[in-house]
Chains A and B, each alone.
Chain A
Amino acid sequence: MTELSSTTASTPSAVPARRRRQGLVSYLARRSPLALLLVSLFLFAALFGPLLAPHSMTDTDLSQANLAPNAGYWLGTDALGRDVLSRLLGSAGVAAQAMLIVVAIGGVLGAGLGLVAGGLGGITDLVVSRVTEILQGFPTILIAIVIVALLSPSLTNAMIAVGLAAVPDFARIARSVAIQLRDREFIQAARGLGLSEIRILLTETLPNMIGPLIIIASFDGAQAIMWEAALSFLGLGVQPPAPSFGSMLRDAQNYLNINPWLAITVGVVVSAIILGLNLLGDALSDFYEMSER
């Protein structure tokens, strides 16, 4: 699904080294304070958005429609008189849900498949690799169309499609780390102790690929938020009147000539969140020494 991770994580080293000695957070704070700031703000808004929202997210008031930013409505109102700031805070929570669903589906399925393929090799590897190869790069929107046609338009259904599209990203990285580790001493020692291959994969191999998987989760989390916005914009995701970045942009498109600021505000906020997650992914790649640079 993401083109980012395919370039960034092409040469994984399963053994994160020197930088481990300083803590992850202090490393990130020095390496990419912007990423830390943006992602923290996003998570804060996602968790406490409903408590912080100054107005209702869904109550309409046509006498207050399409207002510019003012003292009562800090970011103005939309065409139905709803407070933009409150709806943005609600959208952050929706975006976080989108991210969780995608990373859960892509991470569990992908890492599982990759782990088994790389760890066991042989015919398992061949089959898994072929399947992920076919899915790799397959247009996400077609998967979304099929799934939404089968089920119905909703956040969960749209994100199941995006999660499936994310499977190859996780599978590829898990597979290559598993292959690297296959003949290392500690794996051989475990084998010598008589542990089963599956047990070795779960207790020895898996813990050693957490870093690379977190990097992919960060990049694919960014993609999840982008796809939530795109699919809800198209009407395949979050349904009105519930707020989401995509449904807000959909509303905004109909009033571009009366109230262009709505589209601009929402887009800047989504872009900032995605940028934060992408920068975080870059910084994490450096931390685990998987960067291409």
Chain B
Amino acid sequence: MAGYIFGRIVGGFVTLFCVSALAFFATALAPGNPAAVLLGTMASPERVEAVNKLMGLDQPLPVRYGIWLREVVQGNLGASNLSFRPVAGLIGAALPATLELAALSLILAVLISIPLGLLLAQHPNRWWTRPLSGFVTLGISVPGFWVGLLLIVVFSVWLHILPSGGFVPINRNLGGNLRSLILPTLTLVIYLTPSLVRFVRVAAATVLREDYVDTARAKGAGLGRIMLHHVVPNTLISTLTYIGLQLGLLISGAIIVEIIFAIPGIGRLGMSAVLNRDYPVIQGVVLVAAAGYVLVNLLVDLAYSLIDPRVRVR
């Protein structure tokens, strides 16, 4: 068990190290000199040179990576090339909005998908099964961000009942905060739910075909009892790993939703950094998002190995 956990943690660190190198070198090698961008087109070469030196951009790349990594480990992600504010501070300010949006959406999506998927697996031949499955396929095919635009058209433009964007921090006004998150959360839930429903349905249907389910049935157990004692626990275990894999979708989705609804989260921070070539911010955002992804997947793995001892043996 200890060995398994240790292996997982080491794996997580290796992933993070690779991501950090990738984020650093990709942005450092990018065309366009940040100093020149910063000073504008009228700057003299000498001034660009001086600012380069000031920003440490005249050093060889591996040296810069080493310096950068040492600072990152100490929690210093550098300063924005544009505002000169510390990247860690910018990310710290943006993170709560993103986390709230992502957590709210994930919880709602799971609460909707699991019962729906179980229902579809339990009754494969009812009159409503086909339309509902069709609806799920349709949901998988609709681009998530377009759903966001549709929601704005319906609830903001036509009905005038919800804001089309903006964000109220949770510590300022809880009601306003939740109101500003209704449409973004709904968008993300509609994006995440269909594939989750589909996964739960397939997982539950597989369990229903197991021999031990037949045995239980032979012993006279009703469908409700079989679902509760066999199907639900086994389905939940595999769904947990699937949710870990879905995190990538959640992170991508949250970033896009932030842009649509003008939520000042790390997605918007990162996207404006890309368009402004603000490399320290890009590196910081990619690193923090990747760290979140690796960390949560690690937690999912550990939770999984606690629930299901067979995993550790593998």
Binding site for B on A (CB under 8 A): 3-4, 6-7, 10, 130, 134, 136-142, 145-153, 222, 226, 229-230, 233-236, 249, 252-253, 256-257, 260, 263-264, 266-267, 270-271, 274-275, 278-279, 282, 292-293
Give the bracket for the number of chain B residues in contact with chain A.
Answer: 35 or more
Contact with A along B80-101 (1 / 0, CB 8 A): 0000000000000000000000
11 A-B pairs with CB atoms under 8 Å apart are: A4-B195, A7-B195, A7-B198, A140-B248, A142-B251, A142-B289, A230-B145, A253-B149, A264-B153, A274-B142, A292-B205
B141 and A271 contacting across the interface, CB-CB below 8 Å: yes
B153 and A134 contacting across the interface, CB-CB below 8 Å: no
Q: Which chain B residues (276-292) contact chain A, with CB distance < 8 Å?
A: 277, 279, 282, 285-286, 289-290
A235-B275, A275-B138 known; A139-B248 Cβ under 8 A:
yes
B33 an interface residue at 8 Å Cβ cutoff?
Answer: no
Q: How far is the CB of B203 from chain A (nearest CB, A)?
A: 8
Known: A249-B149, A274-B142. 11 other contacts (CB 8 A): A3-B195, A10-B202, A139-B247, A141-B255, A142-B252, A150-B26, A249-B146, A263-B146, A275-B138, A275-B142, A282-B137
Q: How far is the CB of A37 from chain B (nearest CB, A)?
A: 15
A142 and B286 contacting across the interface, CB-CB below 8 Å: yes
Q: How far is the CB of A289 from chain B (nearest CB, A)?
A: 16
- Chain A CB within 10 A, most for which of B205, B274, B279, B293: B274
What 5 A-B pairs have minimum CB-CB distances, sorted nearest first?
A275-B141, A267-B146, A141-B252, A137-B245, A150-B26
A275 and B137 contacting across the interface, CB-CB below 8 Å: yes
Q: Which chain B residues (13-40) contact chain A, with CB distance < 8 Å?
A: 15, 18, 22-23, 26-27, 29-31
B164 an interface residue at 8 Å Cβ cutoff?
Answer: yes
B143 and A226 contacting across the interface, CB-CB below 8 Å: yes
B256 and A234 contacting across the interface, CB-CB below 8 Å: yes
A3-B195, A146-B22, A267-B143 known; A140-B252 Cβ under 8 A:
yes
B256 and A149 contacting across the interface, CB-CB below 8 Å: no
What residues on B are CB-neighbors of A292 within 8 Å?
202, 205-206
What residues on A are CB-neighbors of B249 within 8 Å?
3, 137, 139
- Picked from B140, B260, B285, the residue with its CB within 8 Å of the CB of A253 is B260
The binding surface of chain B is classed by DSSP as helix
Closest residue on chain A to residue B23 by CB atoms: A146
B244 and A137 contacting across the interface, CB-CB below 8 Å: yes
A267 and B270 contacting across the interface, CB-CB below 8 Å: no
Closest residue on chain A to residue B138 by CB atoms: A275
B137 and A233 contacting across the interface, CB-CB below 8 Å: no
B256 and A3 contacting across the interface, CB-CB below 8 Å: no
Query: Please, how many angstroms separate the alpha-carbon atoms of A256 and B206 in the complex?
Result: 45
Closest residue on chain B to residue A141 by CB atoms: B252
Closest residue on chain B to residue A228 by CB atoms: B143
What residues on B are CB-neighbors of A152 within 8 Å?
31
Q: Which chain B residues (217-255) contact chain A, with CB distance < 8 Å?
A: 242, 244-249, 251-252, 255
B271 an interface residue at 8 Å Cβ cutoff?
Answer: yes
Binding site for A on B (CB under 8 A): 11, 15, 18, 22-23, 26-27, 29-31, 137-138, 140-146, 149-150, 152-153, 156-158, 164, 195, 198-199, 202, 205-206, 242, 244-249, 251-252, 255-256, 259-260, 270-271, 274-275, 277, 279, 282, 285-286, 289-290, 293, 297
Query: Please, how many angstroms separate the alpha-carbon atoms of A165 and B76 in the complex?
Result: 30
Closest residue on chain A to residue B124 by CB atoms: A293
Query: Please, how many angstroms separate the alpha-carbon atoms of A268 and B96 in the complex?
Result: 34
A137-B245, A139-B248, A234-B256 known; A270-B146 Cβ under 8 A:
yes
What residues on B are CB-neighbors of A130 within 8 Å?
11
Query: Please, how many angstroms separate the alpha-carbon atoms of A35 and B207 in the complex?
Result: 30
- Picked from A146, A234, A249, A293, the residue with its CB within 8 Å of the CB of B27 is A146
Query: Please, how many angstroms separate the alpha-carbon atoms of A151 and B29 in the complex?
Result: 9
Q: How far is the CB of B231 from chain A (nearest CB, A)?
A: 16
What residues on B are CB-neighbors of A230 within 8 Å?
143-145, 252, 256
A4-B140, A138-B248, A226-B143 known; A256-B164 Cβ under 8 A:
yes
A149-B274, A150-B26, A256-B153 known; A136-B245 Cβ under 8 A:
yes
- Chain B CB within 10 A, most for which of A137, A145, A235, A274: A145
What residues on B are CB-neighbors of A149 within 8 Å?
26-27, 30, 274, 277, 279, 282
What residues on B are CB-neighbors of A233 within 8 Å?
145, 256
A6 and B245 contacting across the interface, CB-CB below 8 Å: yes
Query: Please, how many angstroms separate the alpha-carbon atoms of A226 and B282 in the complex?
Result: 24
B143 and A270 contacting across the interface, CB-CB below 8 Å: yes
Query: Please, how many angstroms separate the alpha-carbon atoms of A274 and B146 in the complex?
Result: 13
What residues on B are CB-neighbors of A236 within 8 Å?
274
What residues on A are CB-neighbors of B260 within 8 Å?
253
Query: Please, how many angstroms separate the alpha-carbon atoms of A120 and B26 in the complex?
Result: 33
B245 and A141 contacting across the interface, CB-CB below 8 Å: no
What residues on B are CB-neighbors of A274 within 8 Å?
141-143
B143 and A3 contacting across the interface, CB-CB below 8 Å: no
What residues on B are CB-neighbors of A282 within 8 Å?
137
- Picked from B31, B146, B202, the residue with its CB within 8 Å of the CB of A271 is B146
B199 and A7 contacting across the interface, CB-CB below 8 Å: yes
Closest residue on chain B to residue A274 by CB atoms: B141
Query: Please, how many angstroms separate the alpha-carbon atoms of A234 and B254 in the complex?
Result: 13
- Picked from B11, B140, B158, B248, the residue with its CB within 8 Å of the CB of A137 is B248
B153 and A260 contacting across the interface, CB-CB below 8 Å: yes
A3-B199, A139-B248, A278-B141 known; A147-B26 Cβ under 8 A:
yes
B15 and A150 contacting across the interface, CB-CB below 8 Å: no
